[in-house]
């Protein structure tokens, strides 16, 4: 069943992400969804969900519609199954994430907002203090999983690409031929534009917390190589699947225990929720999340957030350039597979 779920989200109708590269370069990170779902179903106690991808050139500038939708649905299913949850984002993306939570029925006070960008009078130390306090609270609540859904992370450096390859000098040389020193180690969008000033460094939770919390498992969901979790996959493999001169500086260096690659990141959130519910024996928790309700959530995000389509940059009830009927089809098929169509 879990393997069938993964097949349903590993499609790319717009042919714009990593999944579309599989016809030429072979499967990428297949088989990751099942163990992630099983571990969530059997060990989840307190889960921290990180999402929000800001589009500074959007009309208006806002978080994109991919990410918060799938995160909110997963949060709702976890909560109704008795798992405590926090949703984490930054100030740039908070309005859209709150709107998605509100429309999904997730208490808005569960949205934790990192104090970035700093407000007048605030210093960088405020962000560090927030992280330290948040970790203490997460440990007190028994954090078991840290999940990123469509959350950008910093790109590779020459050293990280070299270390990831096991010290292959040819990889370091290839990296240097593609990426300048001042381009390395930054968060980039799919166009290769650095967006650090619009992105709180929430990737640090994935880099630091596993060392401080015994047994903490991490899950990364993405569709384009620049998301948290992609650091588990070879930089060389990701680069060859991307197009453009900027391909080398796009892949994120931050890895996770499991990396779920899908055509649209929201679909990864849907599949994690469905797989969790199936393995836990609580499929009925998915019933309320109908196709129509997802359309309502999407429209509310766009109007109340606001939020924009990450591809078109417009405030429309679409995701990654897909009209709603195309976008929602995998969720419709997931519901049919589980017998709740």
Looking at 3.90.1640.20, 3.40.50.300, 3.40.50.720, 1.10.1760.20, the CATH number of the domain 2-337 comes to 3.90.1640.20
The predicted pLDDT at position 220 comes to: 99
Q: Report the pLDDT value the prediction gives residue 14, as an integer from 0 to 100.
A: 87
* Radius of gyration from C-alpha coordinates of the chain: 19
Burial letters 113-133, b for 16+ CB under 10 A, else e: bbbbeeeeeeeeeebeebbee
pLDDT of residue 172: 97
Is there a contact between 57 and 64 (Cβ–Cβ < 8 Å)? no
User: What tokens appear for 239 in the block?
Assistant: 């680069």
Q: Which of 70, 103, 111 is nearest to 275 (CA)?
A: 70
Q: What's the longest Cα–Cα distance across the chain?
A: 54
- Check residue 124 and give its pLDDT: 83
* Mean pLDDT along residues 301-320: 98
Q: How far apart are CA 261 and CA 257, in angstroms?
A: 13
pLDDT digits (tens, 9 = 90+) for 214-260: 999 999 999 999 999 999 999 999 999 999 999 999 999 999 999 99
Residues written for the chain: 341
Q: Residues 273, 5: contact at Cβ < 8 Å?
A: no
Host H or E run for residue 178: helix 169-178
Which helix or strand (DSSP H or E) is residue 14 part of?
A: none
Is the Cβ–Cβ distance between 187 and 153 less than 8 Å?
yes
Residue 81, both tokens: 């199954």
- Residue 341 reports pLDDT greater than 80: no
Determine the average pLDDT of the residues in 313-317.
Answer: 99
Whether residue 17 is predicted with pLDDT greater than 90 in this model: the reply is: no
Strand ranges inside the chain, DSSP E: 46-51, 54-55, 62-64, 84-90, 111-114, 143-149, 217-222, 258-261, 307-308
pLDDT of residue 319: 98
C-beta of residue 75 within 8 angstroms of C-beta of residue 318: no
Q: What pTM did the predictor assign?
A: 0.97
Percent of the chain with pLDDT over 70: 100
Q: Sheet containing 62-64: give its strands across.
A: 54-55, 62-64, 307-308
First to last CA, the chain: 16
Q: Is the peptide bond before 214 cis (omega within 30 degrees of 0)?
A: no
Query: Where exactly are the structural domains of the chain?
Result: 2-337
Average pLDDT, the chain: 97
């Amino acid at each position: 069943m879990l393997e069938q779920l993964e097949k349903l989200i590993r499609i790319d109708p717009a042919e714009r992400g990593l999944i579309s590269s599989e016809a030429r370069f072979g499967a990428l990170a297949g088989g990751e969804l099942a163990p992630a779902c099983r571990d969530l179903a059997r060990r989840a106690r307190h889960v921290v969900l990180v999402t929000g991808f800001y589009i500074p050139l959007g009309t208006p500038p806002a978080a994109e519609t991919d990410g918060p939708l799938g995160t909110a649905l997963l949060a709702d299913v976890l909560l109704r199954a008795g798992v405590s949850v926090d949703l984490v984002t930054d100030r740039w993306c908070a309005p859209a994430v709150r709107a998605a939570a509100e429309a999904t029925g997730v208490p808005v006070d569960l949205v934790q907002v990192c104090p970035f960008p700093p407000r007048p009078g605030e210093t960088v130390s405020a962000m560090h203090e927030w992280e330290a306090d948040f970790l203490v609270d997460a440990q007190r609540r028994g954090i078991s999983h840290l999940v990123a859904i469509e959350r950008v992370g910093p790109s590779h450096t020459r050293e990280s690409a070299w270390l990831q390859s096991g010290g292959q000098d040819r990889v370091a040389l290839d990296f240097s031929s593609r990426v300048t020193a001042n381009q390395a180690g930054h968060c980039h969008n799919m166009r290769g534009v650095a967006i650090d000033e619009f992105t709180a460094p929430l990737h640090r939770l994935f880099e630091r917390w596993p060392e401080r919390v015994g047994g903490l498992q991490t899950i990364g969901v993405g569709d384009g190589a620049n998301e948290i979790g992609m650091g588990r996959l070879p930089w060389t493999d990701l680069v060859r699947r991307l197009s453009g001169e900027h391909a080398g500086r796009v892949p994120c260096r931050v890895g996770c225990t499991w990396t779920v690659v899908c055509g649209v990141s929201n679909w990864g959130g849907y599949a994690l929720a469905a797989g969790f519910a199936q393995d836990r024996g609580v499929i009925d928790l998915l019933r309320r999340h109908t196709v129509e309700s997802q359309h309502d959530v999407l429209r509310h995000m766009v109007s109340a957030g606001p939020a924009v389509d990450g591809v078109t940059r417009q405030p429309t009830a679409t995701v990654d350039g897909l009209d709603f009927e195309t976008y929602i089809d995998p969720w419709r098929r997931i519901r049919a597979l589980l017998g709740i169509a």
